[in-house]
C-alpha cells in the first residue's frame, strides 16, 4: 500500500517538473542536438587526451624521483609511469609545453560550446531516475568540475596570478588531473557508442553546406537535447562550429607566438610572453629576474666561487678559472612549463661532464645544483646522469657571444637540452655530484 502510494507520488513529481529550465520547452535552440554535441565531444576527446599525455610528460621532465626535484612528494602511485627524461631531441620540452599550454587555451571555446550543448541535461527532470543515473551524475560533477579546475589553474598560473590559487600550482594541477581523468575515461567509455551513432546520423559535408535558412532541428532524441519547441534558427550548425573555430583561432593567434619565438613573438598580443624584452645578446625572455629571485650583485661579484663537491675535498673556482677551462658551446632554447620558449641561443661554458670529472665523480648518477638564490623551490635542481653526460649540457658563462646578464644567471648558469626552463639553474653556487 505504502509502496504503491509512494510510487504514485513519485510519478506525479516526475511528470510535473517545476517551471523554467526543468521543462523541455524552455530550451529552444534549434541547433542543439546529439550531432553537434558529438562533434564537439570528439574534438575534446582528442584534445584532452593530448593535454593529459603532454601533462604527464611535463611532470616526468622534472625528474621528480631525484632529490630536491619533487614538487609533489606525496604522489604515491600517481608517479608510476615516471621515466628518465631524455636530452634528445633538444627541443622536446619546448614542443611538449608549447603544445600543452597552447592547446589548452585553444580548447577553451570548445569546452564552453560542449557545456552549452548539453546544458539542458543539468536540469533533467526528475533529477534522478535510477541509482545508475545518480552515480553517473556524481561522476559528471568530477568531470565538469575537474575540467574547469584544470583549465582555470593552468590559465591563472601562466599569468603569474598565484594569489587566488588554493595551494601550490604543481600539486593542484597534477592531482587535479588525476581526479579528472578517471571521470573522463568513464564518460568516454559510456558515451562513445552514442557519440559514434550521433556522428553517423548526419553528414558533416552536408552540414557544412547548410546555411541558416535551411537549418532544421535534429529529430527529437530520447536524451532531451533537441528542443521540443525550437525557435527559428539564427545560426546554422556550420555557423556555430565556425564560431567555435573562430574563437579557437583567435586565442591561437593571440597566444602561439610566445612559443614560436623570433619575430612571431610580437603576434602573441595577449600571451604573458608576447612582448619583446630587449635587444642584444641577452635580450631574450627571462625566466625570473634577479630582482624577483632576490639575487644581488654582491652575491655574484668578485667574491663569487663555484664549489664542486664529489669524491674527496670540495674544490672551488672563480669565474676566470672557469673561463680558462676548455669552453664548449651549444645552441639551445629556454622552454618554460608555462608554455613560452625562446628560439635557440648560443651558450658557451664548461661541460657538466668536465665538472663531474673535476669533482672526482665522472660517473655520477646525479648532480644537485644549488643557486645563490634563497627561499625558492627552484633555488636548486637535480640532473640525472644522462643529462650530465650530454655534450651540450653546460655550465654556461656566456650567451650569444657576450657575458651572461645578471637576469640570465651571471656569473654562471646551467643549460641542459630538453630540460624544463626552471631546472636550468641560474647563479649557480655549488654542484654536488652524487654516486648511485
Partner 1 sequence: MFGFRWYGANPLHLLALIGCFALAGYAGLRLFDARPLAVAVWLFGSVIAHDLVLFPLYALADRSVHGVLRHRPAPMPAVPWINYLRVPVLLSGLLLLVYFPLILGYPPGYTLITGMSVSVYLDRWLLATAVLFGASAVAFALRLRRHRRAGSRSRPPDSRRGREGRPRGVGRSEGAPRGEPPAGRLAAPDPGCAATVRAWSSG
Site for partner 1 in 113-132 (CB under 8 A): 115-116, 119, 122, 129-132
| Burial class of residue 48 in the structure, from the number of CB atoms within 10 Å of its CB (0-12 exposed, 13-18 middle, 19+ buried) | buried
At its nearest, how many Å lie between partner 1 and the CB of residue 176? 6
Q: Which 393-412 residues touch partner 1, going by CB under 8 A?
A: 407
Report DSSP state, residue 359. Answer: T
At its nearest, how many Å lie between partner 1 and the CB of residue 95? 22
User: What is the dihedral angle through the alpha carbons of 122, 144, 190, 18, rounded to the nearest 10 degrees?
Assistant: -10
Check binding of 142 to partner 1 (CB under 8 A): yes
Q: Which 155-174 residues touch partner 1, going by CB under 8 A?
A: 155-156, 159-163, 166-168, 171-172
Check binding of 77 to partner 1 (CB under 8 A): yes
How many amino acids of this chain bind partner 1 (CB under 8 A)?
Answer: 88
Select 86 or 242, whichever has its Cβ closest to partner 1: 242
At its nearest, how many Å lie between partner 1 and the CB of residue 428? 20
Select 117 or 387, whichever has its Cβ closest to partner 1: 117
Check binding of 324 to partner 1 (CB under 8 A): no
Select 101 or 415, whichever has its Cβ closest to partner 1: 101
Q: Is 318 helix (H, G, I), strand (E, B) or coil?
A: coil
| Burial class of residue 320 in the structure, from the number of CB atoms within 10 Å of its CB (0-12 exposed, 13-18 middle, 19+ buried) | exposed
The dihedrals phi and psi of 300, each to the nearest 5 degrees, come to -115, 15
Check binding of 353 to partner 1 (CB under 8 A): no
Point out which span in 51-59, 103-111, 322-330, 419-427 binds partner 1 (CB under 8 A).
103-111
Check binding of 11 to partner 1 (CB under 8 A): no
**Cβ count within 10 A of residue 19:** 8
Q: What is the rounded distance in angstroms from the CA atom of residue 29 to the CA atom of residue 9? A: 32
Helix intervals (H) in 159-315: 169-201, 204-207, 237-255, 257-260, 290-293
8 Å CB contact between 37 and 118: yes
Q: Return the axis-axis angle of helices 108-122 and 34-61, rounded to nearest 10°.
A: 130
At its nearest, how many Å lie between partner 1 and the CB of residue 28? 9
Check binding of 207 to partner 1 (CB under 8 A): no
Check binding of 71 to partner 1 (CB under 8 A): no
At its nearest, how many Å lie between partner 1 and the CB of residue 274? 8
Check binding of 270 to partner 1 (CB under 8 A): yes
Report DSSP state, residue 17. Answer: P
Measured at the CA of 194, the angle between CA 123 and CA 116, to 5 degrees, comes to 40
At its nearest, how many Å lie between partner 1 and the CB of residue 105? 6
Select 72 or 382, whichever has its Cβ closest to partner 1: 72
Q: Binder to partner 1 among 19, 189, 193, 280 (CB under 8 A)?
A: 189
At which residue does the C-alpha cell 669565474 appear?
319
Check binding of 49 to partner 1 (CB under 8 A): no
Select 78 or 389, whichever has its Cβ closest to partner 1: 78
Q: Which 212-251 residues touch partner 1, going by CB under 8 A?
A: 212-214, 216-217, 229-235, 239, 243, 246-247, 250-251
Check binding of 146 to partner 1 (CB under 8 A): yes
The dihedrals phi and psi of 351, each to the nearest 5 degrees, come to -70, 140
Check binding of 148 to partner 1 (CB under 8 A): yes
Measured at the CA of 318, the angle between CA 315 and CA 322, to 5 degrees, comes to 90
Q: Binder to partner 1 among 36, 38, 144, 404 (CB under 8 A)?
A: 144
The dihedrals phi and psi of 250, each to the nearest 5 degrees, come to -60, -45
Q: Return the axis-axis angle of helices 34-61 and 92-106, rounded to nearest 10°.
A: 150
Amino acid at each position: 500500500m505504502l509502496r504503491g502510494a509512494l510510487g504514485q507520488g513519485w510519478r506525479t513529481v516526475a511528470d510535473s517538473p517545476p517551471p523554467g529550465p526543468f521543462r523541455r520547452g524552455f530550451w529552444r535552440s534549434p541547433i542543439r542536438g546529439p550531432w553537434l554535441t558529438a562533434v564537439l565531444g570528439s574534438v575534446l576527446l582528442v584534445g584532452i587526451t593530448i593535454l593529459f599525455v603532454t601533462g604527464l610528460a611535463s611532470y616526468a621532465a622534472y625528474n621528480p624521483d631525484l632529490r630536491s626535484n619533487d614538487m609533489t612528494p606525496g604522489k604515491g602511485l600517481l608517479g608510476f609511469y615516471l621515466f628518465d627524461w631524455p636530452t634528445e631531441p633538444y627541443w622536446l620540452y619546448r614542443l611538449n609545453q608549447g603544445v600543452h599550454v597552447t592547446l589548452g587555451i585553444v580548447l577553451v571555446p570548445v569546452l564552453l560550446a560542449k557545456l552549452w550543448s548539453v546544458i539542458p541535461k543539468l536540469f533533467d527532470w526528475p533529477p534522478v531516475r535510477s541509482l545508475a543515473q545518480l552515480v553517473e551524475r556524481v561522476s559528471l560533477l568530477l568531470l565538469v568540475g575537474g575540467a574547469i579546475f584544470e583549465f582555470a589553474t593552468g590559465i591563472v598560473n601562466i599569468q603569474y596570478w598565484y594569489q587566488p590559487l588554493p595551494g601550490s600550482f604543481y600539486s593542484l594541477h597534477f592531482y587535479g588531473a588525476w581526479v579528472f581523468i578517471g571521470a573522463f575515461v568513464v564518460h568516454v567509455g559510456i558515451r562513445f557508442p552514442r557519440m559514434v551513432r550521433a556522428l553517423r546520423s548526419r553528414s558533416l559535408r552536408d552540414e557544412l553546406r547548410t546555411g541558416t535558412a535551411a537549418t532544421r532541428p535534429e529529430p527529437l532524441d530520447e536524451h532531451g537535447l533537441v528542443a521540443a519547441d525550437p525557435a527559428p534558427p539564427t545560426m546554422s550548425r556550420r555557423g556555430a562550429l565556425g564560431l567555435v573555430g573562430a574563437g579557437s583561432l583567435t586565442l591561437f593567434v593571440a597566444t602561439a607566438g610566445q612559443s614560436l619565438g623570433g619575430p612571431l613573438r610580437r603576434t602573441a598580443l595577449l600571451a604573458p610572453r608576447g612582448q619583446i624584452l630587449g635587444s642584444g645578446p641577452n635580450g631574450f625572455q627571462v625566466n625570473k629576474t634577479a630582482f624577483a629571485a632576490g639575487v644581488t650583485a654582491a652575491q655574484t661579484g668578485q667574491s663569487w666561487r663555484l664549489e664542486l663537491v664529489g669524491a674527496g675535498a670540495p674544490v672551488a673556482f672563480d669565474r676566470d678559472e672557469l673561463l680558462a677551462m676548455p669552453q664548449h658551446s651549444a645552441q639551445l632554447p629556454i622552454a618554460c612549463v608555462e608554455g613560452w620558449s625562446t628560439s635557440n641561443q648560443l651558450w658557451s661554458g664548461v661541460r657538466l661532464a668536465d665538472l663531474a670529472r673535476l669533482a672526482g665523480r665522472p660517473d655520477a648518477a646525479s648532480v644537485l645544483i644549488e643557486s645563490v638564490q634563497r627561499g625558492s623551490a627552484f633555488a636548486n635542481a637535480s640532473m640525472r646522469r644522462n643529462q650530465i653526460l650530454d655534450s651540450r649540457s653546460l655550465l654556461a658563462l656566456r650567451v650569444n657571444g657576450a657575458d651572461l646578464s645578471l637576469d640570465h644567471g651571471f656569473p654562471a648558469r646551467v643549460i641542459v637540452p630538453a630540460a624544463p626552463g626552471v631546472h636550468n639553474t641560474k647563479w649557480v653556487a655549488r654542484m654536488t655530484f652524487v654516486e648511485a
